[in-house]
Structure 1
Amino acid sequence: MSALRVALADDQALVRAGLRALLERLGIEIALEADDGAALLAQLADTPVDVVLSDIRMPGVDGIHALQALRARGDATPVLLLTTFDDSELLLRAAEAGAQGFLLKDAAPEDLFDAVTRVAAGETLLQPVSTDPVRARFHFRDDRAPVDSFNPREVAILRLLAGGYSNREIARSLFLAEGTVKNYVSVILDKLGTRDRTRAVLKAITLRVI
């Protein structure tokens, strides 16, 4: 299997150098580097990658605006944003813009590798999102009815979805068939009136289902 190709964006040269060295040691190829979102967008137009790993805070075009521009031009490359604990509001904006995941800047090397590979595989990692800002930001008209309509198994699956686990991993942890988990997820999305897992998790947090 060929190495994952990553685009790396951070305005601090030392941070980029450290991340490059770390990722290359883990067997991940750095296809391009950029010091802001504008440079990132320009290079991505000519250089396809498996994952974009970008700082969320950068001068000029930041990580979120770069993400919005990518999605606006039809580029669905998974984006993993580097962040810190005090970025709750930015995380919510990034989730709305279509980010696949967030990673704390002080994450352990194995966590970095795991996050990049999981996002490349199509998973969503929402762990660093603080639940209180989510509830403050997202308001839904019917904020009562769904809460008591979820059984314990559905709540357990929702919590695992919030952790970024795939259907296969959820199936393993709950001793279910993968097809059964897929059916549960479909029911959960239907109950919450959402079309994707990210919005389902955000809405479930807002409604205090999880």
Structure 2
Amino acid sequence: MTEPVLRIALADDQALVRAGLKSLLESLGGVAVVVEAADGNALLEALATTPVDVVLSDIRMPGLSGPDALRALRARGDRTPVILLTTFDDSALLLEAVEAGAQGFLLKDAAPEDLVEAIRAVARGESLLQPVATEPVRARYAYREQAAPKTHFTEREVSILRLLAGGYSNKEIARSLFLAEGTVKNYVSDILDKLETRDRTRAVLKAITLRVI
């Protein structure tokens, strides 16, 4: 069965980058860029009248940045999944994206196929983060996360947490560890419960802070 075409909003202050991303995404099929914006304000205005399945936004734009536009979206009740893109491999930007409520964070040099898969993943309700150094995350969150996990983690759970930190989906984790996808889903539920978090992104951040991974 053919997957439905996903409607995408694309925000980037560089016209050439927008044109290039649009061309690459649409050439692979399965997505259609129906909104283009040069900054966060233009993005918010367009999304008020044109619904989309996923927002793809540069993290740094003049005027209203990607994270600020995302906060404004959430404030007005818009829960559309958002992927923030950046040129720089900087863990501080990842933290900014997470704190703003992004479902995805990717470098602009990601392969087009990976970007399309990321779009499909967040449209399905998953989170996707590229791997980053853990020390800056610990330093930023150490003061917030004082409570230890309910119980110790098994070796298998630690392996799955590390893959979650790398942005792997349940299907990809199952393939990597030779497990059934349903088994991975159960492991992830147990991990979230032990870390007392409701989503994968915050589970990874808390696991890093507590030195579980």
Does the pair score TM above 0.5?
yes
The answer on 1:192 being equivalent to 2:192 is no
Which residue in 1 is equivalent to 2:104?
Answer: 101
Amino acid at match of 2:208: I
The answer on 1:134 being equivalent to 2:134 is no
Higher mean Cα deviation, 119-128 or 46-55? 119-128
Instruction: Identify which of 48, 61, 65 aligns with 1:62.
Output: 65
Q: Is the 8 A contact 2:150 2:195 kept in 1?
A: no
Q: Distance in 1 between matches of 2:129 and 2:183?
A: 23
Instruction: Identify which of 170, 174, 188 aligns with 1:171.
Output: 174
SS at match of 2:129: coil
What do the CA deviations read for 1:135-191 (whole angstroms, capped 9, x no partner)? 11112113xx44981110110111122222333332333233333322222221122
SS at match of 1:149: coil
Percent identity, please: 76
Unaligned stretches of 5+ residues in structure 2: none
Q: Is the 8 A contact 1:147 1:208 kept in 2?
A: no
Higher mean Cα deviation, 60-69 or 75-84? 75-84
TM-score normalised by the chain length of structure 1: 0.91
Which residue in 2 is equivalent to 1:11?
Answer: 13
Instruction: Identify which of 36, 39, 55 aligns with 1:36.
Output: 39
The answer on 1:201 being equivalent to 2:204 is yes
Q: Distance in 1 between matches of 2:18 and 2:71?
A: 22
Unaligned stretches of 5+ residues in structure 1: none
What do the CA deviations read for 1:98-139 (whole angstroms, capped 9, x no partner)? 101111112222222222222222221111433222111112
Count how many residue pairs are aligned between Structure 1 and Structure 2. 208
Q: Distance in 2 between matches of 1:54 and 1:63?
A: 6
Amino acid at match of 2:153: F
**Displacement over 4 Å in runs of 4+:** none
In structure 2, relative to structure 1, the CA distance for the partners of 1:138 and 1:106 (3 Å cut) is same
Q: Is the 8 A contact 2:151 2:194 kept in 1?
A: no
TM-score normalised by the chain length of structure 2: 0.90
Instruction: Identify which of 19, 23, 26 aligns with 2:28.
Output: 26
Q: Distance in 2 between matches of 1:15 and 1:193?
A: 40
Q: CA deviation at 1:87?
A: 3.5
Q: Is the 8 A contact 1:102 1:128 kept in 2?
A: no
Q: Is the 8 A contact 2:86 2:107 kept in 1?
A: yes
